[in-house]
Structures are given as structure tokens and as C-alpha cells.
Amino acid sequence: MVILDTDVILLAFAFQRDNRQPMNAAFLDRVQAKSPAITIHSMMEVLGQLSFNLSPEKLSAWQSWLIDAYELTVIWPVDPQDATAAMSFRTEIFERPFERMLAKRAAFMDALILNLAEHTPGAETFVTWNARHFKDKSSLKVMTPQEYLEEIQQ
């Protein structure tokens, strides 16, 4: 499973003049065959950023233009339907991210996202345009979209 960082998805919807757009679009097209996923934290970060420029109606339809369009699986730290899940909330939202911040000097959202990605069964690769921020901070292989495309073409 390939897990996408916030910036990869956000680039698809914003920053149209960014010189990484063609590579990002090629990556998103190719990765759909690899069961891509996004953490709930990244998804909420994307929706929060886009909320400034989208109508409430468009934002409410996020399932179709974000999840369905890119064939993404949303990774939750716990089953959102499980009433007993609250017990793991402290571990997921505070303890694990704080441990990563102490050990690896990571920003809070980065720590949340990596923690959830690393605890997802089958996760192998974390793809972000900010790979240098994540290298040596994760047990997953960390790559940019360009590096990922180059690797799968070999």
C-alpha cells in the first residue's frame, strides 16, 4: 500500500503554476493501481486548506471529488464506528506523536500522519513532496512522487 501525504493531494487541487504539477499528475494517475491511501489526518488537512476556496456544497461532496476520484482508502487510527475506540485516543493523538517529536523532531501533524501510516497493515511506502522532512524518521520507505515513478518504471 502506498500512503500519500497531504502535499501530494493538495498539489492536485491548488498551486496550478507549480512546476511539479505534471509529475504529480503522472504519479496520481499511476498510483491508483497500487491501492493508494490517505490518513484521516491528511484528509482533514486537505479539506481544511481547500475550505477557503470551495463552496460549502462542493466541500460537502469531498467523497466523490477526493476519495472516489483518486481511489483512495482513508486510514483511521481506530474504527470510527467502534464506541470503545476512545480508549486509544490518548495513545493515538498524544503519546505516539509526542514520542516521535522527542525522538525524531517532527511537527505534530507529521507525527500523527506517520504514526498512523506506520501502523497500517500492508503499508510499505510514504509518498510526499517533502521527503527530506521524513527521511530517517519513518520505518516506511519515504519517496517523492518522482522517485516513486522512477522506481516502478525500472
Does 126 map to a domain? yes
Does 18 map to a domain? yes
Round to whole Å and give the CA distance between 79 and 84.
Answer: 9
- Considering its fold, how many domains does the chain have in total? 1
9: Cβ–Cβ under 8 A, 6 or more apart, which residues? 38, 42, 43, 46, 66, 70
149 within 8 A of 30, measured Cβ to Cβ: yes
The domain in which residue 35 lies consists of: 2-144
Does 153 map to a domain? no
What tens digit of pLDDT does each residue of 40-53 get?
899 989 998 888 88
What tens digit of pLDDT does each residue of 52-92 get?
888 888 888 999 999 999 999 999 887 767 767 766 777 87
Does 115 map to a domain? yes
CATH number at residue 105: 3.40.50.1010
Q: State residue 99's pLDDT score.
A: 84
Mean pLDDT of the chain, nearest integer:
89
Does 21 map to a domain? yes
What tens digit of pLDDT does each residue of 5-32 get?
999 999 999 888 999 999 999 999 999 9
Does 151 map to a domain? no
- The percent of residues above 70 in pLDDT, for the chain, comes to 97
Where residue 126 falls among pLDDT bands split at 50, 70, 90? very high
State pTM to two decimals. Answer: 0.76
